[in-house]
Structure 1
Amino acid sequence: MLGGAAVLVWRSSPARALLASVGTGALPLAVEALVGQMTLEEKAGQLTLMAAAWAGGAASKLNPIAPTGGYESQLADAGAGRLTGVFNGNGAKMALAMQQAAMRSRLKIPLIFAADVIHGFRTVFPVPLGEAASFDPTLAERTARVAAVEAAAAGIDWTFAPMVDIARDARWGRGVEGAGEDVLLGCDFARARVRGFQGSALTANDAVMACAKHFAAYGAGEGGLDYNSVDISERTLRDVYFPPFEAALDVGAGSVMAAFNEVAGIPATANHWLMTEVLRDEWGFGGLTVSDYTGDMELIAHGFAADERDAARLAFLAGVDMSMQSALYIKYLPDLVRSGAVPMARLDQAVRRVLRVKVALGLFADPFRRIDAKREAARIGTPANRAVARDAARRSIVLLKNDGALLPLAQNRRIALIGPFAAGQHDLIGPWNVYGSDADAIDLATGVRAQAGPRAAISVTPGSGVDAPLDGGIAAAVAAAQAADVVVLAIGESQDMSGEAQARTEIVVPAAQRALAEAVAATGKPIVVLLKNGRALALDGAVLAAPAILVTWFLGSEGGPAIADILFGRFSPSGRLPVSFSRATGQAPYYYAHKATGRPNPDGPLEPFKAHYRGIPNTALFAFGHGLTYGQIAYAGLDVSDGGTLSADGTLTVSATVSNSGKVAADEVVQLYVHDVAASITRPVRQLKAYRRVSLAPGASQKVSFTLRRADLTFIGTDMKPTVEPGAFRVWIAPSAEAGGVEGRFTLA
């Protein structure tokens, strides 16, 4: 099953014999010896990664440039040492054939197989932004672990995830791949996902190497437009956009992907300061760097490189070790080295990094360790994996409103499921999933029917399309609503409205669906709005006026049952917004950790000549961290230890009592925020410094304590280095970034 002839060839190869002879401790010498035996073309081949010609799932749709030459050509390149590996291929059968071809090459260096495993493999989990709403990094580690087990079973060694870009502009479509707008949450989820993907040992046959992307500031594109220019200060880079990358590297992420965008006029793919001075020299990263899809070729369109040869030279000398999809390195690096334009030492450095990664993944010990068709069949889509998907989905759902305690719904009622997402095998798994399928996911109607009760009457009416009305759609929806006790209105974005190249100028529910909502609301029937979305949305009209609103994102394979779990009270909602929902598109980019400005509007009515838009407060419609439960939660009794003074080398405990006076048990996400009152660099109005999930039975109270240290108050100072300054701080323990909660002060001595 593993290609016995190829295994025998490998065992007799020079590389295998060399490694066996020197032992593990001398592995760097073995790598050096291989480098010394390689031709320039073979070295360039180790730096060339291409989309698989024998592609899997939705790869051909997601990859805009088709592989040239076809599958036979790729097999020939593998056999000639002109290819380091392929990505988004078609499972163990494909990987076996290609690895066998590599074992017939002169040096028999194994291929590496990569893939976009963004939020699950065949078992699909909530989109990363939705999963971040759990405020539970351990959940992200669990789902990444399952994704790695499934992907590795299909022969995959390396995933192009996690995306750790901070995203503060809801117009940007790729915010769906990250953890939202907050630095602390972004760091925590970056660590968790890397740990989940890479497991306890990279050599394990259920581990895949993680890739922190996109370095750097991809989420800061002007106007929220994908691929757009970024012009921000070095301080903002270091305070906001760098920390999640550092967090990912701190727990051992083996690779980093360069961003598409430029930073201050220099594209990231050719930015020596980013890719070498910061990443290598300052942070000490020793792993592999890779361009994004044709990122090196795009230096020409940026107006930074004169031609393809120049683009290859600039990207490579900046510190990008591996070229993805453009084939510029295999085409130009040998001659660039021969001409002296690229030093041989730099070429050998990059080759060593690639080979060390392959050693770390166990590919030199056994090139076929993750290639096993039986294992692929046994590990993918198991009931246990689907159970994790359901748990992740329901923990990702956020309850924005629940006026009059409309939720949870009682069983055995007449329910009208209305909207373009009420039923059907579409728009279930979300964007950027190569191997999953809507056909294998469970839709809303199926989930509701399974839990609504034996005497329930469930009707399903689309009412409108996603972007356009349906003939007779609104009339049918109104009739369905009038015949029901309650309406569940499933509206929002289709999955192709989020993700790469899906920036939106209006972050609203499409007009056809808003018209549907208005007509259904006019019936006077109680409405539960289910929002399907990959970004924060600006809500208004009947959608905002609905008594109950749930943010359900794109929840993956088990989305329908998970939503039903929440609707009928089988599971109490516990998600919190990882992004701020602004009041209007024109507020974007809006994020809670903004600066006060010199003219903030005081609490209360809007005042002239203050920092706000006409008629709109400079606050969120629904703030970062907001989310309700089926309990009744209250905060009281802030307590700050040690007289409110934090010594230079000490700790400070900040506590509050959180109570549930409701009749339903609830999980509350208690959040700690601080504000530096006066500093040499102006500071955000609030910053999340800690959060904790607590479970509260009906009538229960719990004292929740957080510990602050001097390091928690660090920021990038005037000299571009981390600093802490003594002074006064405000502190809140609250249910969201803009809620009052309980507030106090302390002093850093």
Structure 2
Amino acid sequence: MTPREKVGQLIQPFGWTTYSRREGKAELTEDFKERVKMGDVGSLYGTLRADPWTGVTLATGLSPAEGAEAVNDIQRYAVEHSRLGIPLLIGEECSHGHMAIGATVFPVPLNIGSAWNTELYREMCRAVAAETRAQGGAATYSPVLDVVRDPRWGRTEECFGEDPFLVGEMAAAAVEGLQGERLDGEDSVAATLKHFVGYGSSEGGRNAGPVHMGWRELLEIDLYPFERAVKAGAASIMPAYNEIDGVPCTTNSRLMDGILRGEWGFDGLVITDCGAIDMLANGHDTADGGEDAALQALRAGIDMEMSGEMFGRHLLAAFESGELEPEVLDRAALRVLKLKFALGLFERPYADAERAAGIIGCEEHARLARQLAAESVVLLKNDGGLLPLPDSVGRVAVIGPNADRGYNQLGDYTSPQPEGRVSTVLRGLSERLGEERVLHAPGCRIRGESREGFPRALECAAQADAVVLVMGGSSARDFGEGTIDLRTGASLVTGEAVSDMDCGEGIDRMTLGLSGVQLDLIREVHAAAAGKPVIVVYIGGRPVAEPWVEEHMPALLQAGYPGQEGGRAIADILLGDVNPSGRLTISVPKHVGQLPVHYLGKRSRGKRYLEDDSKPRYPFGYGLSYTHFDYSEPVLSEGRISLERIAAGETVAVSVTVTNAGDREGAEVAQLYVSDVVSAVTRPANELKGFRKIVLKPGESRKVEFEIGAEQLRYIGPDCVPVVEPGLFRIRVGRNVNDTLGADLTVGH
């Protein structure tokens, strides 16, 4: 290969700019053709991606079959018109579904975490991989493994939660699901772990802000999920935008060469985030211009640049001037080519348009999306057993800005959706009860001060027998939805986009309260519906902290962004067809001023504020059910022999019996926590080390067992290496971190 061809393998332009759509077909641009001929392109980013950022709409985008044919046209040109005939790597966004027109939109990762069901998530990843590969996408920029420390951060919705063990379990499931048994399988794509590392711990919850973290915490918390995913066989990894202790992750050789490749033995591809190399010279200011930034990144271990601007502009000139070492360039180009070979692109570069048309957005995947949505909804409050609503409920008023806005329940990184594709809460309840029994009023927008919709909302509340208030946030970018008539709920095409977006990438907040006048609407509807059942459903990408709602509303559900089938899933729960089984993976504070409230805080974190204590409103792992589960006292044993003491290196089992003591079938999440009573450095009071989701019929009991060994007892010790210290450990099992039963275990020398 020539130096130019090697550099070309490291370059990944925006894929949607390489063609234009003409009569349902992709017509390649002359600029792209010329770049391919010269060997200047090795990969494409988001070729099939559609959203307001790309400018690809339902009118200008490609159907599943057309998308596959477009990729084939692109690949055919690369194979037939480049000197070496090397196929391109097509990388796509797939955080909660393939981000292409027609693809299934699953619940966002925050919901997936709340489902606590790794098997179901693995199945979802298989579906996402199948839809993506069917169109020719061979790599995905997911899963997101950031551990959330401040939920004001707009990308909280893209993460599984605040606990590294839980994130690690989801990480392994994602890699296994996306990559399958073989990377070159027809339903497999390369997983890219992101964002490496510390991205969820940014200063003030501001996106890409500095991270202030000690090395021990970095090893123990933020790096743990990445290590789990690397051991599961992840093919690719993406460094984060942020800096840690003054060193940008994009050039942090201690992380990339020292830990990732050195200690963990990772031999896959490292790709930047979009624009991250430019940020070195224009943001971090650790590089003196573009060439310096590109060389720093390549030498530190970056193999490919998403967007391709800095590598493409500077590396060849640096090589020709002698500034770029040949072995550094060869190393990166080899890693790119190895991944292409592993994916089978040389043998099978083309997609199957007929298969794409059949599998993308299929009914089987929609059913899976509905199940995930149902398992992810968390019942936070249910005073007096108000829920589920009886079949004889009469008329139900569905009120609120998220009652019937489809894009508001899909989350960020979502493609345009055809009319009627997304099931909202209004549609879900109307399908179940009949349109004649359902009243609707939006009341207000997510953002903004207009109260012109209040009278209609209060009228609906007065006429109804029960009220469902669907409030929360929005990560919907401008999909051309126009606005809504707050007085009627009708969609209006005004020619002016009105953004309700208060979450998503780059949308960080100072508060966790409801935006706009939503709280005022809740108060007035509550007064108008006095004596009637009133339920609040939060749809959004982060926890909501609204003390008035918590104190006055009898029933409350957190539904996250539940995806295209979310409305049906929420209706199933409200009406009792599904028993809620979601559990929180991010602690919900009473007030934003309590942050951070994540449960992994140290024992020494302090006691209380003047105004209130430091405890969250709802703790990690919390969630109610329509039934009740009893736990037996935990028993430590080896076989049939009870144990209270083990030697270092030995294992012991802890078991409990969980009984459904209610009259409904339900699913419970049994959670295992470990506490090291005395340690050489300060530790959290409790750490999640295992969980099991089990389904029990009324009166049914089941034994749940966890293994306790070095993996569960170790921590990063004073020398920053894993250690199991002799001494007393408290082993606890229960419903959530604050509701457990325990047994003591002594570990000897």
Per the normalisation by structure 1, the TM-score is 0.89
* Residue type of the alignment partner of 2:430: R
User: Paired residue for 1:586?
Assistant: 593
Measured in 2, the distance between the counterparts of 1:436 and 1:361 equals 30
* Residue type of the alignment partner of 1:88: G
User: Paired residue for 1:77?
Assistant: 35
Measured in 2, the distance between the counterparts of 1:437 and 1:468 equals 27
Q: Using a 3 Å threshold, how does the CA distance of structure 1 residues 274 and 332 change in structure 2: closer, same or farther?
A: same
The one-character-per-residue Cα deviations of 1:63-101 (angstroms, maximum 9, x if unpaired) are: xxxxxx993312321222100121111322321221122
User: Paired residue for 2:61?
Assistant: none
Measured in 2, the distance between the counterparts of 1:176 and 1:330 equals 33
The one-character-per-residue Cα deviations of 1:231-287 (angstroms, maximum 9, x if unpaired) are: 211101100011111111111111001110011101111111112121112211100
Q: Classify the secondary structure of the residue corresponding to 2:621.
A: coil
Question: How far is 1:319 from its partner?
Answer: 0.6
* Alpha-carbon contact 1:275-1:319 (below 8 Å) kept: yes
Measured in 2, the distance between the counterparts of 1:634 and 1:509 equals 35
Q: In the alignment, is residue 444 of structure 1 matched against residue 425 of structure 2?
A: yes
Q: 2:309 aligns with which of 307, 327, 336?
A: 327
User: Paired residue for 1:92?
Assistant: 68
Q: 1:617 aligns with which of 613, 617, 625?
A: 613
User: Paired residue for 1:48?
Assistant: 11
Q: Classify the secondary structure of the residue corresponding to 2:408.
A: coil
Q: Classify the secondary structure of the residue corresponding to 2:317.
A: helix
The one-character-per-residue Cα deviations of 1:482-507 (angstroms, maximum 9, x if unpaired) are: 21111100000012322211111101
Q: In the alignment, is residue 516 of structure 1 matched against residue 502 of structure 2?
A: no
The one-character-per-residue Cα deviations of 1:278-302 (angstroms, maximum 9, x if unpaired) are: 1112211100001100101110121
Q: In the alignment, is residue 344 of structure 1 matched against residue 326 of structure 2?
A: yes
* Alpha-carbon contact 2:157-2:504 (below 8 Å) kept: yes
Measured in 2, the distance between the counterparts of 1:92 and 1:493 equals 34
Q: 1:459 aligns with which of 439, 451, 474?
A: 439
User: Paired residue for 2:149?
Assistant: 168
- Greater displacement, 462-471 / 677-686: 462-471
Q: Classify the secondary structure of the residue corresponding to 2:370.
A: helix
Q: In the alignment, is residue 732 of structure 1 matched against residue 728 of structure 2?
A: no
User: Paired residue for 2:497?
Assistant: none
* Alpha-carbon contact 1:638-1:656 (below 8 Å) kept: yes
Q: 1:637 aligns with which of 621, 633, 639?
A: 633
* Alpha-carbon contact 2:445-2:516 (below 8 Å) kept: no
Q: In the alignment, is residue 556 of structure 1 matched against residue 563 of structure 2?
A: yes
* Alpha-carbon contact 1:580-1:591 (below 8 Å) kept: yes
- Greater displacement, 106-115 / 198-207: 198-207
Question: How far is 1:649 from its partner?
Answer: 3.1
Q: Classify the secondary structure of the residue corresponding to 1:355.
A: helix
**Length, aligned pairs only:** 686
Q: Using a 3 Å threshold, how does the CA distance of structure 1 residues 612 and 344 change in structure 2: closer, same or farther?
A: same
User: Paired residue for 1:709?
Assistant: 709
* Alpha-carbon contact 2:728-2:745 (below 8 Å) kept: yes
* Alpha-carbon contact 2:447-2:516 (below 8 Å) kept: yes
Q: Classify the secondary structure of the residue corresponding to 1:579.
A: coil
* Alpha-carbon contact 1:517-1:543 (below 8 Å) kept: no
* Alpha-carbon contact 2:4-2:40 (below 8 Å) kept: yes
User: Paired residue for 2:163?
Assistant: 182
* Alpha-carbon contact 2:674-2:712 (below 8 Å) kept: no
User: Paired residue for 1:224?
Assistant: 205
Question: How far is 1:701 from its partner?
Answer: 3.2
* Alpha-carbon contact 1:213-1:257 (below 8 Å) kept: yes
Measured in 2, the distance between the counterparts of 1:117 and 1:312 equals 27
- Greater displacement, 42-51 / 335-344: 335-344
Measured in 2, the distance between the counterparts of 1:164 and 1:345 equals 31
Measured in 1, the distance between the counterparts of 2:504 and 2:143 equals 14
Question: How far is 1:54 from its partner?
Answer: 3.9
User: Paired residue for 2:54?
Assistant: none
User: Paired residue for 1:569?
Assistant: 576
Q: 1:116 aligns with which of 62, 74, 93?
A: 93
Q: In the alignment, is residue 142 of structure 1 matched against residue 138 of structure 2?
A: no
Question: How far is 1:157 from its partner?
Answer: 0.6
* Alpha-carbon contact 1:491-1:530 (below 8 Å) kept: yes
Q: Using a 3 Å threshold, how does the CA distance of structure 1 residues 438 and 187 change in structure 2: closer, same or farther?
A: farther
Q: Using a 3 Å threshold, how does the CA distance of structure 1 residues 358 and 716 change in structure 2: closer, same or farther?
A: same
- Greater displacement, 387-396 / 444-453: 444-453
* Residue type of the alignment partner of 1:187: G
Question: How far is 1:619 from its partner?
Answer: 1.4
Measured in 2, the distance between the counterparts of 1:458 and 1:435 equals 27
The one-character-per-residue Cα deviations of 1:142-191 (angstroms, maximum 9, x if unpaired) are: 11111111111111011000011111210111121121111111000001
Question: How far is 1:463 from its partner?
Answer: 1.1
Q: Using a 3 Å threshold, how does the CA distance of structure 1 residues 482 and 392 change in structure 2: closer, same or farther?
A: same
* Alpha-carbon contact 1:85-1:114 (below 8 Å) kept: yes
* Residue type of the alignment partner of 1:720: C
Measured in 2, the distance between the counterparts of 1:70 and 1:514 equals 51
Question: How far is 1:627 from its partner?
Answer: 0.7
User: Paired residue for 1:675?
Assistant: 675
Measured in 2, the distance between the counterparts of 1:55 and 1:448 equals 43
Q: In the alignment, is residue 314 of structure 1 matched against residue 296 of structure 2?
A: yes
- Greater displacement, 211-220 / 324-333: 324-333
Question: How far is 1:567 from its partner?
Answer: 1.0
User: Paired residue for 2:344?
Assistant: 362
User: Paired residue for 1:3?
Assistant: none
Question: How far is 1:112 from its partner?
Answer: 0.8
Question: How far is 1:123 from its partner?
Answer: 0.4
* Residue type of the alignment partner of 2:708: L
Question: How far is 1:207 from its partner?
Answer: 1.1
* Matches for 1:447-526 after TM superposition, within 5 Å: 447-452=428-433, 457-495=437-475, 496-523=501-528, 524=530, 525-526=532-533
* Alpha-carbon contact 2:10-2:308 (below 8 Å) kept: no
User: Paired residue for 2:58?
Assistant: none
Unmatched 5+ residue regions in structure 1?
1-37, 58-68, 601-609
Question: How far is 1:707 from its partner?
Answer: 2.1
Q: 1:210 aligns with which of 191, 194, 201?
A: 191
* Alpha-carbon contact 1:149-1:207 (below 8 Å) kept: yes
* Alpha-carbon contact 1:216-1:258 (below 8 Å) kept: yes
* Alpha-carbon contact 1:78-1:98 (below 8 Å) kept: no
Measured in 2, the distance between the counterparts of 1:56 and 1:164 equals 33
* Residue type of the alignment partner of 1:722: P
Identity %: 37
User: Paired residue for 2:372?
Assistant: 392
- Greater displacement, 265-274 / 470-479: 470-479
* Residue type of the alignment partner of 2:34: A
* Alpha-carbon contact 2:18-2:32 (below 8 Å) kept: no
Question: How far is 1:440 from its partner?
Answer: 2.1
* Residue type of the alignment partner of 1:409: L
Measured in 2, the distance between the counterparts of 1:435 and 1:262 equals 34
Q: Using a 3 Å threshold, how does the CA distance of structure 1 residues 190 and 438 change in structure 2: closer, same or farther?
A: farther
Q: Using a 3 Å threshold, how does the CA distance of structure 1 residues 572 and 267 change in structure 2: closer, same or farther?
A: same
* Alpha-carbon contact 2:409-2:540 (below 8 Å) kept: no
* Alpha-carbon contact 1:75-1:98 (below 8 Å) kept: no
User: Paired residue for 1:429?
Assistant: 410
Q: Classify the secondary structure of the residue corresponding to 1:188.
A: helix
Q: Classify the secondary structure of the residue corresponding to 2:694.
A: strand
* Residue type of the alignment partner of 1:87: Y
The one-character-per-residue Cα deviations of 1:328-362 (angstroms, maximum 9, x if unpaired) are: 11221122223332210111011110000000010
Question: How far is 1:709 from its partner?
Answer: 1.1
Measured in 2, the distance between the counterparts of 1:589 and 1:239 equals 18
Question: How far is 1:657 from its partner?
Answer: 3.1
The one-character-per-residue Cα deviations of 1:624-647 (angstroms, maximum 9, x if unpaired) are: 100111102233323233342132
Measured in 2, the distance between the counterparts of 1:615 and 1:471 equals 32
Measured in 1, the distance between the counterparts of 2:709 and 2:536 equals 42
* Residue type of the alignment partner of 2:348: D
Q: What root-mean-square deviation, in Å, do the aligned CA atoms of Structure 1 and Structure 2 show?
A: 1.9
* Alpha-carbon contact 2:18-2:29 (below 8 Å) kept: no
Question: How far is 1:228 from its partner?
Answer: 0.4
Per the normalisation by structure 2, the TM-score is 0.89
Q: Using a 3 Å threshold, how does the CA distance of structure 1 residues 544 and 78 change in structure 2: closer, same or farther?
A: farther
* Residue type of the alignment partner of 1:376: A
